[in-house]
């Protein structure tokens, strides 16, 4: 690896949330599996100024490996590094496959795949500006040709069980057309969270031929397609003569400015990246709300939420009702040291909870379980207070489950309302004994007719207890 230059200062982002300035260096990586193929890479990283010197900011930062468009290079994407690097992301731009006459999508995909692991190595290289600064979480992002190449790279990484790659993002991704490779077919093997942004008026890579087939084939449990109304193909990047010429010759009806399209893009990308790379679960909730409230986009989504966890007791052994990647058990709201397995054997009477972590990094906290071991008498669980949980799954189609707790016998009413306050369906209207309860809604009204997609409210009244939550129906 050859470091050609580094510590070039770029301007400070104008975003309020921006924390860092931008450092920059260029390096050449060599791939031994492809005859020491040179992969020149521009790397931008969070930096700070100390005594008039630019140094790497303290901390470890997630990585975005970015693939450029056809006959474009990293310089067309200054808008991206000036947006994301100040917010705590490292961005790596390979400059390969920029030729007009001999572009190889497959080689470009391999370049991106190689960099996912190679940038991690920079964190262990004491000669690199990124020494001790690279977080394990990585995203693959690309525009146009580079967006299609991202699918090729993710296909291989997912098949090989790579645990660094957390998400892929395609900005108007183009179907591959060289060496028989196919981004659309590669999508069938991609299981990680995925996001595609598209301009509705894109004539360079028409969404119906490129973006939508990729989205439909994605095997991810959480995937989102966003179409920016009136948007184009090239507006995801700064102006580039080759891209702009292709756009002017093929696209029509573009009705927003480049700045407007980029602002919409950043609004969603910042939330998605913070969720997938920084495990900021609250930002995912904002992302979902923005999908429903934005008048600048249309969208499609298939995204399963983390399941609700309950505790199951069998012969004195407590287990989680759902399987995650990690576990933490609690007794009376205090952490039980070293209780990090799927099952736990209690020795003390009290209220137990288990926190279950998933690959998204976002945990779910179980309902409480009162464990009493007294002369082998098994007591029926009685909740300590009224409550109603978030429905699961959410968003859903067509059935979702509502769980609620009754500490005493009560007359219970559970009803569904639309956002205008009109009652849609009554699920429960009866006297019920105490305990942990649940009811399902199948997205129909009181007449048994299917209701339209959108946001709905569900409300519980039990004794003096009243609570309302919202849920999202997708179709």
Q: Would you list the DSSP string of 85-122?
A: GGGT-EEEEE--S--SS---HHHHHHHHHHHHHHHHHH
All CATH 3.40.50.1820 domain ranges in the chain, comma separated: 2-303
* Residue with tokens 């569904």, as numbered in its chain: 416
Taking CA atoms, 283 is separated from 60, 386, 438, 441, in Å, by 20, 28, 28, 27
The phi and psi torsions of 121 (rounded to 5 degrees) equal -65, -25
pLDDT (0 to 100) of residue 374: 54
Distance CA 333, CA 384 (A): 14
Q: What pLDDT, in 10s, does the model give residues 26-84?
A: 999 999 999 999 999 999 999 998 777 789 999 999 999 999 999 998 999 999 999 99
Residue 364 · residue 407 · CB < 8 Å: no
Residue 204 · residue 248 · CB < 8 Å: no
CATH of 2-303, one of 3.40.640.10, 3.40.50.150, 3.40.50.1820, 3.30.70.890: 3.40.50.1820
pLDDT (0 to 100) of residue 308: 77
Q: Give the residues across from 369 on adjacent strands.
A: 352
Residue 45 · residue 22 · CB < 8 Å: yes
The CATH number of the domain covering residues in 304-380: 2.60.40.10
Distance CA 436, CA 326 (A): 25
All CATH 2.60.40.1930 domain ranges in the chain, comma separated: 382-475
Question: Dihedral (C-alpha) 418, 421, 424, 426: value to the nearest 10 degrees?
Answer: 120
pLDDT (0 to 100) of residue 446: 92
Residues of the chain with pLDDT under 70: 1-18, 102, 304-306, 359-361, 373-381
pLDDT (0 to 100) of residue 199: 97
* Residue with tokens 């399941």, as numbered in its chain: 307
Collapsed DSSP state (helix, strand, coil) of residue 321:
coil
CATH C-level class of 382-475:
mainly beta
Q: Would you list the DSSP string of 258-303?
A: HHHHHHHHHHHHHHHHHHHHH--HHHHHHHHHHHHH-SSEEEEEEE
Taking CA atoms, 32 is separated from 111, 159, 215, 328, 392, in Å, by 12, 21, 33, 42, 48
Residue 366 · residue 285 · CB < 8 Å: no
315-328 b/e with 16+ CB inside 10 Å = b?
A: eeebbbebebeebb
Residue 331 · residue 352 · CB < 8 Å: yes
pLDDT (0 to 100) of residue 68: 96
Long-range Cβ pairs for the range 446-451 (8 Å, 24+): 450/398, 451/418, 451/424
Residue 206 · residue 168 · CB < 8 Å: no
Residue 153: in which H helix or E strand, if any? helix 145-159
Paired tokens of 231: 């948007």
* Count of beta carbons in the 10 Å neighbourhood of residue 267: 16
């Amino acid at each position: 690896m050859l470091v050609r230059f580094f510590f070039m200062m770029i301007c400070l982002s104008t975003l309020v949330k921006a924390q860092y300035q931008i450092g920059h260096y260029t390096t050449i990586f060599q791939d031994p599996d492809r005859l020491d193929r040179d992969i020149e890479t521009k790397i931008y990283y969070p930096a700070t100024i100390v005594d008039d010197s630019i140094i790497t900011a303290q901390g470890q930062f997630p990585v975005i490996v970015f693939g450029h468009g056809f006959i474009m290079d990293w310089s067309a994407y200054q808008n991206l590094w000036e947006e994301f690097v100040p917010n705590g992301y490292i961005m790596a731009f390979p400059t390969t496959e920029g030729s007009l006459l001999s572009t190889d999508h497959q080689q470009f995909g391999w370049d991106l795949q190689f960099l996912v692991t190679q940038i991690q190595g920079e964190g262990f290289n004491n000669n690199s500006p990124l020494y001790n600064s690279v977080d394990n979480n990585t995203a693959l992002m690309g525009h146009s040709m580079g967006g299609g190449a991202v699918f090729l790279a993710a296909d291989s990484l997912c098949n090989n069980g790579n645990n660094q790659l957390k998400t892929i993002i395609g900005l108007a991704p183009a179907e591959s057309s060289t060496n028989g490779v196919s981004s659309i077919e590669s999508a069938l093997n991609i299981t990680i969270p995925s996001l595609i942004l598209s301009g509705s008026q894109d004539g360079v890579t028409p969404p119906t031929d490129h973006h939508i087939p990729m989205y439909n084939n994605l095997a991810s449990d959480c995937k989102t397609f966003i179409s920016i109304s009136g948007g184009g193909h090239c507006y995801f990047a700064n102006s580039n003569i080759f891209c702009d010429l292709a756009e002017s010759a093929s696209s029509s009806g573009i009705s927003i400015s480049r700045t407007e399209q980029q602002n919409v893009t950043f609004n969603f990308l910042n939330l998605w990246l913070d969720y997938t790379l920084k495990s900021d679960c609250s930002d995912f909730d904002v992302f979902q709300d923005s999908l429903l409230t934005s008048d600048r986009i249309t969208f499609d989504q298939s995204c399963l939420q983390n399941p609700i966890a309950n505790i199951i007791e069998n012969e004195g052994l407590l287990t989680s009702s759902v399987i995650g990647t990690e576990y933490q058990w609690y007794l009376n709201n205090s952490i039980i040291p070293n209780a990090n397995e799927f099952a736990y054997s209690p020795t003390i009477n009290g209220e137990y909870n288990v926190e279950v972590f998933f690959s998204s990094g976002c945990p779910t906290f179980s309902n409480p379980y009162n464990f009493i071991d007294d002369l082998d008498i098994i007591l029926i669980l009685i909740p300590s207070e009224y409550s109603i949980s978030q429905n699961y799954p959410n968003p859903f189609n067509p059935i979702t489950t509502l769980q609620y707790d009754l500490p005493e016998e009560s007359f219970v009413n559970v009803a569904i309302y639309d956002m205008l306050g009109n009652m849609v369906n009554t699920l429960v209207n009866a006297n019920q004994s105490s305990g942990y309860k649940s009811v399902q809604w199948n997205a129909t009204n009181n007449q048994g007719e299917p209701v339209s997609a959108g946001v709905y409210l569900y409300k519980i009244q039990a004794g003096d207890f009243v609570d309302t939550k919202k849920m999202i129906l997708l179709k």
